[in-house]
Amino acid sequence: MTHPSPKSEFIQGIMDQLPLQLGVVPFGLVFGVLGMASGLSAWQTILMSSVIFGGASQVVFAQLWMAGAAPIIVGSSVAVLNLRHVLYSVAVAKYLRLLSLRWRILLGYLLTDEAFAISIKRFEHDPTPRNAHYHLLGSGVTLWAFWQLSTIAGVVLGATLPAHLNLDFAIPMTFIAIVLPSLRHVPHVLAAVSSGLVAVFGQSLPYNLWIIAAAITGIVIGAQAEKWKAQQ
């Protein structure tokens, strides 16, 4: 079997990633606007997109900071939200294990939801991929560039956007677009509903603990429901 060259893998990664930018760009814009509105400086908002490089967790960071949450709560909420990346890491590990440390560090940094979603298909398509890591590099770099540019655009535009547009409402709308299509089984729905209920009625919990309490409730109820369902 012939293997595509590194260059053609890299370009294919870019091409496969481009359609997803339709959703990434508005999300980045909204984060840029929200970051500034929540009291972060322009530099903090822009650099967070490189340092954390995780859309939903950056939004949570900004919202909790704006609400005056303690640093430990902000930090652990971001960490809980990003735990899912361990799953992506598991899934791609067998394809990346033999690469040099430098490659593995770079691809680890680029392993976001979107890059994973696109490149895992490439990896699974060919059981012994020789240059497929260039595909992940291409899709990861593409996402990175669009995320940085749309964050910067949001920071620049933020000051000029009128308040009556309710742009903060774009965050839950973006999440609705992500979560709703992923509710495929009853346990998923139970996880979503139970987490939502704790979030709404746990608002008075001290230290903004509601987000962690809601997340743990949803995760445990969803996973237990799935287990019971499988045993029946």
Partner 1 sequence: MEGATMIWAIMIVTGFATFLMRFSMFSGLIHRALPPALDRYLTYVPIAVLSAIIAASVFISHETQMPTIWNTRVLAAVLAMAVAFRTKSVIATLIAGLGVLWVLENLF
Judged by CB, which is closer to partner 1: 139, or 217?
217
Shortest distance in whole angstroms from residue 4 CB to partner 1:
22
The Cα angle at residue 42 between residues 67 and 78, in degrees rounded to 5: 45
Judged by beta carbon, residue 74 or residue 132, the one nearer partner 1 is 74
Cβ at position 23, least distance to partner 1 in Å? 4
CB of 81 to partner 1, least distance (A): 5
Instruction: Name which of 74 and 143 has its Cβ closer to partner 1.
Output: 74
Backbone angles phi, psi at 219, to 5 degrees: -65, -45
Shortest separation between residue 78's beta carbon and partner 1, angstroms: 4
Residue 145 or 178: which CB sits closer to partner 1?
Answer: 178
The DSSP code sequence of the chain is -----HHHHHHHHHHHHGGGHHHHHHHHHHHHHHHHHTT--HHHHHHHHHHT--HHHHHHHHHHHHTT--HHHHHHHHHHHHTTHHHHHHHHHHHHTTS-HHHHHHHHHT--HHHHHHHHHHHHHSSS-SSTHHHHHHHHHHHHHHHHHHHHHHHHHHTTS-GGG-GGGHHHHHHHHHHGGG--SHHHHHHHHHHHHHHHHTTTSGGGTHHHHHHHHHHHHHHHHHHHHHH-
Structure tokens at 129: 């991929």
* Residues belonging to the chain: 232
In the complex with partner 1, the residue whose CB is nearer, 99 or 145, is: 99
Shortest distance in whole angstroms from residue 8 CB to partner 1? 24
Residue 14 or 80: the one with the smaller Cβ distance to partner 1 is 80
CB 207 → partner 1: shortest distance, Å?
14
